[in-house]
Structure 1
Amino acid sequence: MFDIAPDHAIGLYAGVLALPFALLAIRLRSAARAVPGTVLAASVLMAIAGAIHLGLVWTHRDETITALLFALNGVSYIVLSQLYTRRWWRPASVGLITATLFGYLGYIVLNFDTPDQVAVATKLLELTTLGMVLVPTQGETRKRRSRWTLLGVAVPLLTVVTVAVVWIDDLARPDALHAHAGAVLQAANDTATPEQVAAAKKLYDETAAAITPYRDWHAAWAAGYRPGPQNTPSTHWMNQRYVDAGYVMDPRHPQGLVYANTKHGPVLLGAMFQMRHIGQFGPDPGGPLTAWHQHENICFTPFGFEFSLMTPTATCPLGSIDLSVPPMLHVWIVDNPGGPFAVDIDSKVVKQIDQS
């Protein structure tokens, strides 16, 4: 699934820490005893959502507008979570949650942010809160039918729209500076040592030199490399003989090559080393610079079409199956914003090569 962006992790911690305080606030209020359980549940979830948003203010302090929006949203959620005895609480809650959902979707569509697990979890939390807010309480007669209608139609519709926008955006604009969706990174130290920097450079130089002949894709074909599905801007060419042989990070025998599918024909982007078994990470001479990654929950159709990842709700599209692949390490020989060992090649780089 989607990985947790480092600057969003603090929001998750803030949300978890807010839970006991939200429960305590309800316990200390005598008025809460006369309030339906669904309303109290909405209050707790709203407080957690508010804490998550406030937790993100500090890590986004350099983005003034974003930080202000997080602060405003967080305060609004927390304040509203304690006003559940007011008559206007329900419409105000519906308005705030709906505005927050559409505001976030607009943010990622405009490419101001990229979806990650914290964001997806928060949106699902808000959708659940919306459902709790809309549930008619016992004894209500006015608007009871309309609320059930909203609950049965609006909430599922908002869920589908939210999931679809997040998923399509991540597929259309993968971020090379973050781990690819569904990629589990090998644990490594935070900052590379001088020795690790030198080792990473050595691996890069040796690999770049070894795969130079494969700039001509005919040479790659002659060596036993075969392309996978070519319905994406770039394609992995795998050498099954090298895969079966079990070479470990051997620059002379990379298990895969990556080519850009351009109007000029295949253009070599880099090499890929792959281990034989899922969960078996390879040697990491460059520390954080050469961390391996393992793709999990990739959706494939019987026709070879790759959906790249599960939906944010952890399901594959109808007709496709869920697969995971052993750990791999890419070595990019073209200028890649994410670095020569990034999980992915930047789509802009591939597009530029195609247009050159």
Structure 2
Amino acid sequence: MRDFWLGIAPEHRVGLLCLLASPLLLVQVRRWRAAALEERWCSGLLGTLAIVHLGLPPWFGSVLSAGLFGWLAVRCLGGRSWRVQSGFLVTAQLLLFVAASGVRAATPDQVGLTVAVLELALLSISCRRALARVGTVALVFVFGTAMWVVSIAGHDHEGVDRIQAGTVQRPAGPPPSAVERAAARDLAAQVRASTTRYATLAAAEADGYRVTGSRTGTQVHFEHKGHQNDDRILDPAAPEQLVYAVRGDRARLLGVVFQVPVAGAAGPAIGGADTRWHAHDVCVGLLPPGFGVVSPFGSCPGFTFATTLPEMIHVWVVDPPGGPYAEHLDDDWIKALP
């Protein structure tokens, strides 16, 4: 339950209150009580979505969206056509949510994803034909994959105590003491001094680091398998990963990633709340391709199981906003580096 409340974005709190209150409002409608079972479900979902959209930010749920959902709820109770209109409206809302999350104009937190679940449920009920139902299943898969990609690619924990899909961050805790602040400054200085030898990709690869994905981008990770299993944690001379900004034939070392050797073990937060560790959840299976995506609803695809990777922490050497232990580097800020 604590993780659920950590997962609520501040701008969605009013929407959450509307969502919690909506069943109390709907049961007072006499026409809803007298309707058939399918009409009850559809009008209930439409009415709930109308109410919750009243409390969501303008970029995601506006008064217009709330009015359209409410209008369809009334049509449903009145026995008038509503399926095609609701299908188009729900599809548009889901696509808008993905697009807004991709540009960080909306937060894919527990409220936003709960609303998406309600919309997908409404879409599945409204489909009578087999082909439409197949399309609904496809939309669920595409939406879940898109939201996983958006959540992981954003990797945005900056200053926010929030649980995102696929990412688990340790709670902040009390303010650090003077001793802890000094220890954090000392570690950052040692990392900066010891990584000067990795100014080029060639130097990193000569020392055993290998790229984990694309060789170009604003945050390219090189990992060292040997350092991941040497039982040395927070060793400035042997970080588990190096992070570079690579454009063309130019590479700039941004910092390092320290990682504990086994999942479930807590990394040493020597700087207290200033040195916070985090982990990632992934889905692993025996069938090809061997892994799956964590859905926005926190579950894994069939024939896969969820597992949490070992904790890790970034230490930056480029003086970013927020200091050497900032949880996230903005891509635009990285591109502006000399």
Q: Tell me if both proteins adopt one fold, taking TM over 0.5 as the criterion.
A: yes
Match of 2:10, SS state, is: helix
Aligned to 1:259: 244
Distance 1:213 1:221 in 2: 12
Distance 1:52 1:287 in 2: 38
Q: Deviation per CA, 1:104-158: give whole Å up to 9, x if none.
A: 34434665335344323322321111223x26xxxxxxxxxxx435742453354
Deviation at 1:256, TM superposition (A): 2.5
Match of 1:125, SS state, is: helix
Distance 2:55 2:177 in 1: 34
Aligned to 1:270: 255
Aligned to 2:108: 115
Aligned to 2:3: none
Distance 2:47 2:137 in 1: 23
Distance 1:304 1:228 in 2: 20
Match of 1:245, SS state, is: coil
Task: Please tell me whether the aligned partners of residues 297 and 324 of structure 1 are also in contact (alpha carbons under 8 angstroms).
Answer: yes
Find 2:21's aligned residue among 18, 21, 30: 18
Match of 2:252, SS state, is: strand
Query: Are the structure 2 counterparts of residues 215 and 174 from structure 1 closer, same or farther at C-alpha, using a change threshold of 3 Å?
Result: same
Distance 2:45 2:320 in 1: 41
Distance 2:230 2:96 in 1: 51
Distance 1:270 1:261 in 2: 13
RMSD: 4.3
Find 2:214's aligned residue among 214, 231, 252: 231
Match of 1:296, SS state, is: strand
Aligned to 1:53: 53
Aligned pairs for 1:61-72 within 5 A: 65-66=58-59, 69-72=61-64
Query: Are the structure 2 counterparts of residues 113 and 42 from structure 1 closer, same or farther at C-alpha, using a change threshold of 3 Å?
Result: same
Query: Are the structure 2 counterparts of residues 303 and 35 from structure 1 closer, same or farther at C-alpha, using a change threshold of 3 Å?
Result: closer
Q: Deviation per CA, 1:183-240: give whole Å up to 9, x if none.
A: 2101113x84574655543432232223222224555456x54214242534433344
Normalised TM-score (structure 2): 0.73
Deviation at 1:295, TM superposition (A): 1.2
* 1:250 pairs with 2:242: no
Distance 2:232 2:279 in 1: 17
Aligned to 1:204: 188
Distance 2:170 2:17 in 1: 26
Distance 1:168 1:326 in 2: 20
Query: Are the structure 2 counterparts of residues 11 and 197 from structure 1 closer, same or farther at C-alpha, using a change threshold of 3 Å?
Result: farther
Query: Are the structure 2 counterparts of residues 239 and 93 from structure 1 closer, same or farther at C-alpha, using a change threshold of 3 Å?
Result: closer
Task: Please tell me whether the aligned partners of residues 230 and 261 of structure 1 are also in contact (alpha carbons under 8 angstroms).
Answer: no
- Where does the alignment leave 5 or more consecutive residues of structure 2 unmatched? 1-5
Distance 2:82 2:10 in 1: 32
Opposite residue 341 of structure 1, the aligned amino acid is Y
Distance 1:291 1:105 in 2: 29
* 1:156 pairs with 2:148: no
Query: Are the structure 2 counterparts of residues 253 and 109 from structure 1 closer, same or farther at C-alpha, using a change threshold of 3 Å?
Result: closer
Match of 2:267, SS state, is: coil
Opposite residue 256 of structure 1, the aligned amino acid is Q
Opposite residue 262 of structure 2, the aligned amino acid is H
Aligned to 1:280: 265
The percentage of counterpart residues that share the same residue type is: 26
* 1:331 pairs with 2:315: yes
Deviation at 1:306, TM superposition (A): 9.4
Q: Deviation per CA, 1:239-298: give whole Å up to 9, x if none.
A: 444433322323343232223344336532211111122122222244443210011116
Q: Deviation per CA, 1:76-131: give whole Å up to 9, x if none.
A: 54575466422336255445434433443443466533534432332232111122
Query: Are the structure 2 counterparts of residues 248 and 9 from structure 1 closer, same or farther at C-alpha, using a change threshold of 3 Å?
Result: farther
Opposite residue 257 of structure 2, the aligned amino acid is M
Aligned to 1:188: 172
Aligned to 1:43: 43
Query: Are the structure 2 counterparts of residues 336 and 43 from structure 1 closer, same or farther at C-alpha, using a change threshold of 3 Å?
Result: farther
Distance 2:283 2:320 in 1: 24
* 1:31 pairs with 2:23: no
Aligned to 1:143: none
Match of 2:137, SS state, is: helix
Relative to structure 2, which stretch is displaced further, 297-306 or 323-332?
Answer: 297-306
Query: Are the structure 2 counterparts of residues 108 and 241 from structure 1 closer, same or farther at C-alpha, using a change threshold of 3 Å?
Result: closer
